[in-house]
Structure formats: structure tokens, C-alpha cells
Structure 1
Amino acid sequence: MALDELVAEQDDLAARFVSGSREALAEVYARWSALVYTVALRALDDAHDAEDVTQQVFVSAWGSRHTLRPREGALPGWLIGITRHRIADVRTQRYRRARNVAAVAALAPEVGSPPTEADIAQRLLVAHEVDRLGEPRASVLRMAFIEDLPQEEIARRLDLPLGTVKSHVRRGLVQLRNRLEEVDDVAP
């Protein structure tokens, strides 16, 4: 196939995609999902995150297909642009998760030292606040930080999507941090 024919075929596919053809969506996915996955995997170095990004890219592309302007080679570049945004979102989530974990870890006493009354009180407060988060968020946090289970295992045990587990961890830590900050502000 000559380059001109390939470009014309891509432009036709892009036009059908923009018009809402589900067959065009399937063809776009078949052609470029491996590229999107590879870019995400290289950037994130995690197969599960790369799979999530790939799915998010095509869901976003379908939802915002009206923004695509079919012209020479626009479709693959447009998909890679969406991929870069989703990769940035995952990196931001990772940063926030690490920051929240560090904040909770800072509450833990040093290993080897006997717990003080203040340490015990703080642990009870944290346990109480985790319980107040409700289910399944409280169970997700306990499994992640007390049982030290990977998020994939938590998702399997609780029969939840991996993205939902990740959201519960992130949002639960934020809620917990905010509540503990409120308690610190009130404490004498």
C-alpha cells in the first residue's frame, strides 16, 4: 500500500470515528491499542497501570471524538496526546499516594521503642477514624497498610475493580489525614 493510500485510509477511518461509528472505534482500538499500551508501559513501568491507561485513553477518545480534526496522520498523534495526559494523571496519583502514605507513616512510632500513652492514644484514634471511613474503604486501608497486601490482591479479595481499590486508598488516606489534622487542631 502506498503512503498516500495509507494516509487516505487513516483519514477515512478518523472521519468515521468522529461520526460515531462503533466499527471505526473497534478498528482504531485494534490498530493503535498496542502503541498506546507500549507508551504507557514504558512511561509508568507497571503493566496494570498501562492497561488502565490504555482503557482510559480509548474511553476518553470516544467521549471526545468531536474534538478530533481528521487530517493527515491526526488520529495516532491525537491518541498519543491523550495517552500522555493519562500518564501524567497516573504519575500525579502516585505522587499523592506516596505523600499520603508518608504522612500516615510519620504517625507511627520508631521501631523498638516501647509505645507511650500518647502513641497508644494516637493508634486508637487512627483505628477509630479508619472505622469511620465506612466500608469498603476501611477494609481496603486495613488490608493495604496493616496486612501489607498489594492492591491487586485487595481487589481480588474484595471483588472490586483495581481502579476502585486505588481510589479507596487515595481518598481514604486523604480523609484520614484531614480528620487527624482536625483532631490535632482541637487538641490542647
Structure 2
Amino acid sequence: MTTAQRTGADLDDGVDDSALVDGFLSGDEACLTVVHRRWGPLVHALARRSLGDAREAEDVTQLVFLAAWRGRAGFAPDRGTLPGWLTGIARRKIADALAARTRRSELVAAAGAQLLLRAEDEAVLPETAIDRVLLADEMAHLPPPQRRVLNLAFYDDLTQTQIAELTGWPLGTVKSHARRGLRRLAGRLGADDPAECAA
């Protein structure tokens, strides 16, 4: 039976690292199984420690091995070890997961800002939830300075003067970012006037 015909269970975990790497690089799925069994716990531990969530760490671990398998031609044994390469991929996938978490937080913040844009006595209707999602999505498309100013104004309830002090930007710049951000939101949401965003 050739290596390519064997399953991961057929391969001994004690197989020599160089033979394992050779099999992995040649596309031997049995070798991938052994690689996963041997170094999966290391990748999972790194992800769990960085993310603090077992389920998210499991997702990242799967992404790491999927990326490693698809990009195995990019591994150069003369430049480092396979576990070192896997660790590098893991760090990138962990960073991606943390960035996605930040984006989700920004969307939640933008959705909260949308509630502050509405009159206090307005009832929360099903349409309001849809509006929140739409606004959050549109806020995510604003240039970062405009998004930051609007989030600080609506979500943190800061005045433009306070925003200028916090960011270190001139007051005129803050006002300009706020005005442009509201105009852009109004345009993207189909409002006739930026003031409608605050109505």
C-alpha cells in the first residue's frame, strides 16, 4: 500500500518528520491527518489563549489547517519547520478573528448610535431593527475619520468640542467630518437632507 492509499489511521504518529512533510507537500491526505493530529492541539491552544473562546478557537484551528493544505506549496522546509509555519498561519488567522470581532463591535456601536438619532418618544417597531442594521452597514462604509466622529457624537454623546479634544483634531476638522459623514449617510440611505438622518 502506497502512502497516498493509506488513511491517517494507517500512518503511525511516530512517522519521521521529514517523511511527513514530504507527504504533506505532495498532497497526501493521510499525512494531513497526522499533521492535524500532531500539531492541531498547539494551534488550538494558541487560538484559545488569544481569543478566550473555545468555539472560536476551534473555528480558527480549522481555518489554519485549511489554509495550510491549500497553500502547502508555499511552505519551504529549508526556511523553517512545519509547526513553525503552522504557528505563523495561526497568528494571522487569530489576528483576522480579532479584527472581525472589532468590526462586529463597530456595527453594534453604530446600531446603538442609530437609536440615539431617533426621537426619544418613538416606539421601537420592527422597522426600527431593520433601520439599525441598514445604518450600521452604511456607517461601516464611511471613511474612518467620519465614522469615528459620528460614533463619538451619537454613541458616546460627545460634543464636537469634546471630540476635538479627544482626537486632537481641530474643531473645524471635526465639524467637517461630521457634516460630510451625515451627507454621505443621507445620500446612501436615500434621504433628501442630512437633517433627516437626525430626525
TM-score (normalised: structure 1): 0.61
Q: In structure 2, what is the equivalent of residue 183 of structure 1?
A: 189
Map residues 67-146 of structure 1 onto 2, 5 A cutoff. Answer: 67-71=74-78, 74-109=81-116, 115-116=120-121, 119-120=122-123, 126-129=128-131
- Distance (whole Å) between structure 1 residues aligned to residue 135 and residue 77 of structure 2: 42
CA change 1:77–1:103 in 2 (3 A) is: same
- Distance (whole Å) between structure 2 residues aligned to residue 97 and residue 128 of structure 1: 16
Identity %: 35
Q: Quick check: 1:14–1:75 contact (8 Å CA) kept in 2?
A: yes
- Distance (whole Å) between structure 1 residues aligned to residue 64 and residue 108 of structure 2: 28
- Distance (whole Å) between structure 1 residues aligned to residue 190 and residue 57 of structure 2: 39
1:33 aligns with 2:71: no
**Higher RCO, Cα 8 Å, sep 6+:** 1
Q: Quick check: 1:57–1:83 contact (8 Å CA) kept in 2?
A: yes
RMSD over equivalenced CA pairs, Å:
3.4
Task: Tell me by how many angstroms 1:71 deviates.
Answer: 4.0
Q: In structure 1, what is the equivalent of residue 28 of structure 2?
A: 21
Q: Quick check: 2:114–2:135 contact (8 Å CA) kept in 1?
A: no
What whole-Å deviation, never above 9, does each CA across 1:75-105 have from its counterpart, x for those lacking one?
A: 0000000000000000000100001100111
Map residues 52-67 of structure 1 onto 2, 5 A cutoff. Answer: 52-67=59-74
What whole-Å deviation, never above 9, does each CA across 1:14-70 have from its counterpart, x for those lacking one?
A: 111000001110000010000000000001101111000000000000000011112
Computing the radius of gyration from Cα coordinates, the structure with the larger value is 2
Matched residue of 1:115: which SS? coil
Matched residue of 2:23: which SS? helix
Q: In structure 2, what is the equivalent of residue 156 of structure 1?
A: none
1:174 aligns with 2:181: no
Extract unaligned runs of 5+ from structure 2: 1-14, 142-183
